[in-house]
């Protein structure tokens, strides 16, 4: 696994703290395949709900807009969403209004996962946030999630993933070209700001590296639920309890 630096958390989230509406524009254009991705996520959450009401920890929850409708249908027994963006959390409070047992917390996602280690939950979810962590912190996150999950619990990770053998530089060249050529509904100045943000703060891993981290933490190999370009939905399962 290639080491990468740790960007300051404030820098990682500055773009969306200052203009959360940019993310809504990305959603509206489905530029990152959010619709298809959420269909995969919803399927796992519905399967989890068949075993009873579950607790969900959402690491880097943003405004929780996509999850809100699903959560209303499934009514989890607890939802904890954490994010470093106060504006995103304010919007999340709006979208999740009326749901019982909701907590929103302004906190770094790794710190939260480690702080909650004494707790337990059936589902940990993170969407397009983990790639901001450096390699060592990603490994720490997998270990923290493994401690958090109840037996047969689920870690749903949605993130950008590099092709096997692809360098970060080659990944960025391809991804930035994709943004500039296909994100046509984004105002040019804001699009360029988004491109600069990605170039500065995105450190995606290869699937093999994420698999190695997961196996090391005791979560086993991921089940890839969907791949939409570089955008990948991965499902990691906690081992069942040993009687």
Closest listed residue to residue 158, CA positions, set 44, 74, 47: 44
Query: What is the band of 4 on the pLDDT scale with cuts at 50, 70, 90?
Result: low
* Contact indicator for 111, 129 with CB cutoff of 8 Å: no
Q: Is CATH 3.40.50.150 correct for 9-237?
A: yes
Taking 60 as the threshold, does the pLDDT of residue 63 lie above it? yes
Sorted by where each begins, the domain ranges of the chain are: 9-237
Question: 119: pLDDT confidence band, cut at 50, 70 and 90?
Answer: confident
> pLDDT category, 3, cuts 50, 70, 90?
low
**pLDDT confidence of residue 20:** 64
Sheet strands (E) in 23-148? 55-59, 78-83, 102-106, 121-127
CA proximity to 63, closest of 84, 39, 45, 87: 87
Q: Which of 161, 174, 172, 109 is nearest to 131 (CA)?
A: 161
Q: Is the pLDDT of residue 241 over 90?
A: no
- What's the pLDDT tens digit per position in 71-106? 999 989 999 999 999 989 999 999 999 999 999 999
**pLDDT at residue 21, as a whole number:** 73
Nearest to 115 by CA among 125, 123, 124, 107: 107
């Amino acid at each position: 696994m290639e080491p990468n630096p740790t960007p300051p958390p404030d820098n990682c989230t500055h773009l969306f703290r200052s203009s959360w509406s940019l993310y809504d524009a990305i959603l509206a254009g489905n530029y990152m395949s959010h619709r298809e991705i959420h269909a995969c996520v919803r399927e796992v959450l519905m399967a989890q709900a068949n075993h009873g009401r579950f607790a969900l920890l959402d690491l880097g929850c943003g405004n929780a807009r996509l999850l809100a409708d699903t959560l209303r249908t499934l009514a989890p027994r607890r939802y904890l969403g954490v994010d470093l963006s106060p504006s995103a959390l304010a919007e999340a409070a709006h979208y999740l209004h009326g749901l019982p047992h909701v907590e929103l917390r302004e906190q770094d996602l790794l710190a939260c996962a480690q702080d909650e280690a004494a707790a337990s939950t059936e589902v940990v979810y993170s969407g397009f946030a983990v790639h901001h962590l450096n390699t060592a912190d990603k490994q720490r996150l997998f270990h923290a999630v493994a401690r958090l999950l109840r037996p047969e619990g689920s870690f749903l990770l949605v993130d950008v993933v590099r092709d096997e053998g692809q360098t970060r530089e080659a990944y960025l060249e391809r991804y930035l070209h994709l943004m500039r050529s296909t994100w046509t509904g984004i105002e040019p100045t804001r699009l360029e700001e988004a491109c600069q943000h990605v170039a500065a703060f995105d450190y995606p891993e290869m699937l093999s590296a994420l698999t190695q981290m997961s196996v090391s933490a005791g979560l086993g190999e991921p089940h890839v639920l969907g791949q939409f370009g570089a955008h990948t939905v991965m499902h990691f399962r906690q081992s069942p309890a040993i009687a």
